[in-house]
Structure 1
């Protein structure tokens, strides 16, 4: 057993051998706190568990998904509440899981490096207790095979909502402020674990069943301060031993073997070297300047949280479960750091593209990386990005804005604002370069509704004129190699899951392929990967499967798509409720989706006071517009059923609202539409226990009547469905009200099967 103050060389060598075996044996990267647990409580590297050790699992705190609870550190022993027998586990990893994290890793800049209690770009809650949303990854195998949760059991817990889709616990952790007034949440994970052991975990630390309890290592009459110093010394001995092992690499306080990282990179699957390096390049490319026919070059920092970004990669979500999740996230951080350090200039910290990439926040979302284009003025900026220490630039920039906020004069209360509506974002639907080889162009663009209806597809200027557009920079070597207007253009479409098609179409003078017949399964927003070879009159297009599949606002989506285009271009679908109230609710929802400010995940936000001028634009040929009272009632109903929510932005330059709110600008209420996204197959297409698709039964089976929520679409049940519900309500002797609830329709009993 290690002792405060060090030990003999042979003892230190034995400790290093043990820690190496521990890191090799554990399923997840080993945090310094977890390594201390293993040494202190006697983790058996042969059986890979604490089975038979000095831990009373009945004393572990109980935790369940969604709990509001006192914060727990990495290294804490817990019982996962399953509704049945105890499921003891050890917390081996945790990260921030803020509600503002997007599904693809996008997040507002202020969140990166934000202090505890931050509620927005200029708002820190100074309350005594701070609540943070956190993801806790636990290892249930740490207590031996007799108590371990099998894969089948974990899948069952996931379906029952005991754990989330990634096999972890997302909870609201409450941190108190320490005696010196500093929030406990600002402590690093190891320091917080030490505090936990000296307070709530003291009985566990002082257990006489431990191989060498801390009290026995200290001289008689040792004070509380002596005990804290001894504990810290023990942990430091473990940390130094981990750092001394050449076979081990640390990311922050987490240790993993270099061999495990090599194995991951050599894997040809969705989380192998190619996928991680593609993600690394994507993070850097997000801040590169873009230009299109309608926009100028933009320079702004882009923040990416690796946890959600990894889960959004094709085929990755199904693998990012349990202890695999932290393994992939931590390895990906290391790969990205290696990429930056290998490609960036040592003096300026810039990649060859002029982009600077740096770790900005180690905790939120598994690690937030900041990418910013230098704008060609690298000499005036401080080099960053080559260090593994997070910079916290996202929140720091908010402080810089605060210093300039005093110079901003807010408009007079009640002042009129010009009506500025977004019928389209400047780059919505623009082609984005994927690859530019000497003899071909590859790009990606989403299908717009007008292109589906009109049977055409615009080609990027890089293909028709040789001029760059929206990331398709460059010039063709000579005019003859461009795609010119005229007939006999071959359009090949490989539509995933459907037969391929070849069409002979024409390119018009505007650079559009016209006369296209799109398959009925193509929808607004579906992403096309396109290829054109120089000198050829053939354009190849393909669609790709969306994995996992999604149900968006009740619609099953099986192909990769652009969330912003889907929000915009599916807003016109007519409502089933043709009553005055139903039409008004549909108009309000359509106005928000059609003219609101879009974000990357397809949310649309429209200023409340711009709703009235937007409504006539939804249906300009309507015989009459709804009254202000009817519009107000529709907004209230949509807010009540959750189809819309309220968020706060600010009035920016030119009278356009901005989100999130900017410092020094007048706050404005925004009506927000958020797509209702459900991951996985639509109803009736579940997975088998092993994660594979089950064989469908040919038998016909009875489906009882049920209510279906449609309020999020701005729809209401038709009078016929209301009548049928009242009829079946009386027929089957149901209990409650015979009237359908607001926002629901009724599906009658029917037979299903083939």
Structure 2
């Protein structure tokens, strides 16, 4: 695309392009308006040197980026409302993409817009290597609530090229290494109010900024002018989110831009780089892409920024004469990152059946850390991973590095655990309050059916009085001892909770009994107990699903096992201290057992084969169960990692007890899930928070979604406990999202001026001045949106136009000078 000499829209000269059309769905925008917005955004993308993010595209439309002067008008925006950065700043404030900043050094000031940012963890290596546990990890803050980031600024956002004074000031800041590094980027610790805010993506984080610290800028612009009551926080938040969603979809429709995540870069500029020789030209793009995709014996995680920075730094040392300009300085870094990711993405999407020609599976695993972390792994690759879009991050590195259980230990099963103190749960997510532990792992979509690796650490135990009927089983090849040992496997052991899996033998089914590990007796409440049985894949009758049982001789008696249960079927049971309700579940297999279509649930094949009187089939070598816990993931505190073996029980409880919603969804809050698992009479706050944290990890893995309950839009988490949602499939989730978008648009009806030109400043024609009426109207407007102490003087060279219906006469706003 060649940018036309005359821009399609000049802010402050033409009527605002940010109209109520942007508060409708993309398909509802009139064709002429949609075409004008798309053309304008393409022009802005071409004149700017950084990729256009969804948030900076919003800024361009809302605050008026002029393609002709290549910048915003600071006089209209008022830099006093920008985020202030002083040269003495030690830790950076939160600066999502789109934030306006002003760097102050003595009497000097430099204005800029944040155009890109990403994680800058110091564990990455200059050859691009990234530790697996960092890839896709939720936000982890240090003791001060901070984490390392690289924030890329555009100092030319208020007019390009820079003035001589601005160039000198920028050079001084870079040379001194104060605030800016030698490449002109903000690098260092960024401090967050809580982990929940840190886990928001840039679009959501910028919306949060505009609804809090940046609210005067938002309300004073076209969006505030479109709303009947711009100070209605709920309506303002809804309108802002709708506008951001619409603009993001419009960027998808721009024919001459290529998208990488939320960023859009001109396709023509990307192709020019591919045709260009030299540092980070086409040949280097291919080499960098090859470095990210090279085959190794183990899965390899490669970060784009450390790989790029190492590449350029090496060139500076080996051939300094060929590096006259650092291709990673200032906004060029953001474009280089987008181009490299696109080059690797082109390789990933060329795969056949998920594999490249050398048998390597390549996919993006994390868009945030290190400007993009790519995972290359050799065959064999799980089918459910190969079948997922390679450009959809699944956070496999993080999930596969998680320990199986936050309380897994080497403690022998018969050890007295009474001296172990449970997590008091006080750092959890209390209703109506923001805390430092608020919901690790929210706000990012990690993909569907994410494989979580081995998610259980098994501690095998053989109760002294268990298996009295082992002789009843006619096992081939003298394997009775193996079957006995495998009958009960303790998967989680803590003084307040035990989760174990038992393979039922014929004696259990015939005797209506469920065996217990020998160290569970002390946890059980006295008297009659209630057990709820979830038979995954079948709807049990109520009298089969909920049963009253008694404790006797190391087992629970009085069961009426469903007829579909067979010898060897595995049942997972959760027993909480003092609870009268126990939860149990079976697991439906993706493929039936080898013995026939009737055997559809996980089973101990040795016990089943013995009961059928047949030999075990030759199924090839089996991978032994992991018997020692992995090292704890440093990115998530142990108390926040939840209890892995509870995941299956939580999902089954949601499916059974969740409040039914549209498209087959089932919803419960964390406390409601706790009650469904262990009954209403159990009070154990620490265990309840472990249930909530386990739900958080299921959200990370894409098994559930989380809906924060409505509170104040400027305070995430202020609306009470989050609601966790189970969906029957991907299509249902997508349909529900579209339904939510439609509901949001309907909710805005009656709260938006339709066919309205919002009030705002306009550039004066030559030889004119603002009328007294316009000055008075401007002063009234500014006091309304910024408070009584705001500067009410009209900026020089501008007048003020009242809001009016499109096509009507707004009234005289300027006078000819005499």
TM norm structure 1: 0.48
Relative to the length of structure 2, the TM-score reads 0.44
Larger radius of gyration: 2
Question: Which has the larger strand fraction?
Answer: 1
